[in-house]
Amino acid sequence: MEDEPRLDPAEVTLLYAEHAEQLTNFLMGVLRDANLVQDVLQATFVKLIEKGGQSREETRKAWLFRVAYREACEHQRRGATGNRVPREKVEPRVVDEADAADHFVRFETVELVRQAMGELTEKQGEVVRLRVYEDLKFSEIAERLGLPLGTVLTRMRAAMEKLRTWLDDHRV
């Protein structure tokens, strides 16, 4: 273990300053819980300290995002998000009937899309999240994931077909 390359603390600090905000936004899209996002972000940088020296400098940003995504998936697998209720669902708000109906329709649609996203493979879901929640171009997604552009496009197309089919089958 002692022979594993370690990053210089100044480099870790620099990487945090450069990427923490993007990682936070990305994780919010995946987890939708600010407290859990901070836990996963911390775990990601702990991994960077422990194992980041094994990654190549030119692909370190992509490495960070892969680790963050895996940590988020691990938290979800352990059920870390299952017991949390988002604050906006608990705080009372005064709304008129039209707003309430509109809110319900949007909520129902979001829930359907969330369920549909659960039907995607992990690789398809990763591409969709990067494209939708981080608004990355396909070339940027390919670079971040270290994949050929064609592979990213194929995963996105397959994901969109699967989402469209699932949503068509489950619409009321």
Domain 1-87 carries which CATH code?
Answer: 1.10.1740.10
pLDDT score recorded for residue 88: 54
**Angle between helices 60-77 and 34-51 in degrees, nearest 10:** 130
pLDDT score recorded for residue 121: 93
Tokens coding 66:
């892969």
pLDDT score recorded for residue 1: 47
Say yes or no: domain 97-172 is CATH 1.10.10.10.
Answer: yes
Q: Within the chain, which residue ranges are assigned CATH 1.10.10.10?
A: 97-172
Query: pLDDT (tens digit, 0 to 9) for every residue of the chain, 172 residues total?
Result: 455 677 777 888 888 888 889 999 888 888 888 889 999 999 988 888 888 777 787 788 888 888 898 898 888 887 644 555 555 554 544 545 555 555 555 666 667 777 788 889 999 999 988 887 778 899 999 999 999 999 999 999 999 999 888 888 876 4
pLDDT score recorded for residue 104: 56
Q: Answer positive or negative: Cα dihedral of 116, 119, 124, 126.
A: positive
Residues in the chain: 172
pLDDT score recorded for residue 50: 84
- On whether the pTM is more than 0.75, the answer is no
Residue 74 and residue 8: Cα distance in Å, rounded? 27
Tell me how far CA of residue 140 lies from CA of 42, 53, 61, 74, 82, in angstroms.
24, 23, 11, 25, 32
Tell me how far CA of residue 27 lies from CA of 67, 73, 109, 128, 150, in angstroms.
11, 10, 21, 13, 25
Q: Within the chain, which residue ranges are assigned CATH 1.10.1740.10?
A: 1-87
